[in-house]
Structure 1
Amino acid sequence: MKRIFLLLMLAVFVFSCKNENKQTEKHIDVAQDMPDTEAVSYSSFGKEINDTDALSSKKMAAKFESMTIGDSINTKMIAKVDEVCQAKGCWMKVDLGNGEQAMVKFKDYGFFMPMDIAGKDVVLNGKAFVNEVPVDEQRHYAEDAGKSAEEIAKITEPKKTFSFVADGVLLKEE
């Protein structure tokens, strides 16, 4: 009688282990069918921020277009860097995806960006606004960007620009 009981217990144990393994295998198969999600790594500059709720550059462009000179909003956006100040990284221009750019400066000159990040993606947090940039300021930025004397001389009128004062920036690492 004891032998039958022990064999019965052994059979229950063996079958329950096999069932448990099948469940585990199913779980693994399901996990393998899940799409790969790539973790994004960033270098952080200025105030600590995250990329949650950041507007795309195209959505930000639409917001800029609806604003008039003097308007401002607090926001977060993702954009591709077009240019960076080659003197010390104290400003950058980002692509808004509609043929326009936004001039980005850093709050209170509290931080600077690497000068070799043109073409890289950034997340900006801060204040977006529309302003008019005088000729002398435009020429100064053109000089910082390494533009030729000919290009600088062509700047003769104030320009309506889209601007951003960032208190924090995330630079996407590759």
Structure 2
Amino acid sequence: MKKVFLGMFALAALAACSPKQDAQQDQVETATETSSESEAEETRMTFPADSVSSDSSMSFHGMRINTEGAVDIAEIPALIASNPGQAIKVSGKIDACCQAKGCWMTMTVGDQEMRVKFQDYGFFVPLNSGGKMATMEGVATLDTTSVDDLVHYAMDGGMSQEEAEAKYTEPRLDLNFLATGVVIEDM
């Protein structure tokens, strides 16, 4: 929003110093940029505030989902193979989460670590989520994770930069999950 106001201020300053035709062109460009920014904001999901169940046994993050109909995370590889890009509801144990903000968590699927991120960076999980059971809804994919991202995630998880850079020297094909809603049990 500040950029829009600064842009409008700059536009007004240019209009005072520029011929009328140049000022009109600047206004059209500014209006187009503002429109594009507004459209991008409109496509982002808006999530409700985090909440806790009445008996304090569960916390809800992102879109409100329930635990009914969730399949075990061990089934994710088969679900990706049969329905790529399809939204699924799965449950399993959280291994760890980002210790800076709670902006991601990891879970084990078979012998592979799966990184869970949250739609539009729109919600987070508590920093003490590791070891708890979670049910989540979203889309699972296989993607290549860059060395920079692997190092960043390791540091978010508490590893030193030196350790992370020594451990991650090549990109890696990873199982990822983009969640729109998460329920954490045993709060």
2 CA distance for matches of 1:118 and 1:74? 24
Q: TM-score if structure 2 supplies the norm length?
A: 0.64
Give the counterpart of 1:118 among 127, 130, 143: 130
2 CA distance for matches of 1:40 and 1:77? 21
Shift of 1:53: 1.4
2 CA distance for matches of 1:115 and 1:156? 27
How does 1:46-125 map onto structure 2 within 5 Å?
Answer: 46-64=62-80, 66=81, 71-96=84-109, 98-125=110-137
CA RMSD of aligned residues (A): 2.0
**Aligned twin of 2:168:** 155
Count of equivalent residues: 131
How does 1:32-51 map onto structure 2 within 5 Å?
Answer: 41-51=57-67
Work out whether 1:143 is the aligned partner of 2:155: yes
Name the SS of the counterpart of 2:182 in structure 1.
strand
| Identical columns (%) | 37
2 CA distance for matches of 1:118 and 1:152? 24
Segments of 5+ residues of structure 1 without an aligned counterpart are 1-38
Segments of 5+ residues of structure 2 without an aligned counterpart are 1-54
Q: Which amino acid aligns with 1:129?
A: T
Q: Whose relative contact order is higher, 1 or 2, with alpha carbons under 8 Å and at least 6 apart?
A: 1
| Equivalent pair of 1:49/1:168 in contact (CA under 8 Å) | yes
Q: Which amino acid aligns with 2:159?
A: K
1 CA distance for matches of 2:86 and 2:176? 11
2 CA distance for matches of 1:40 and 1:143? 31
| Equivalent pair of 1:73/1:129 in contact (CA under 8 Å) | no
Give the counterpart of 1:133 among 121, 139, 145: 145
| Equivalent pair of 1:104/1:166 in contact (CA under 8 Å) | yes
Q: TM-score if structure 1 supplies the norm length?
A: 0.69
2 CA distance for matches of 1:168 and 1:146? 25
2 CA distance for matches of 1:84 and 1:74? 22
Work out whether 1:169 is the aligned partner of 2:185: no
Shift of 1:73: 2.5
Task: Answer with 1 or 2: which has the greater Rg.
Answer: 1
**Aligned twin of 1:25:** none
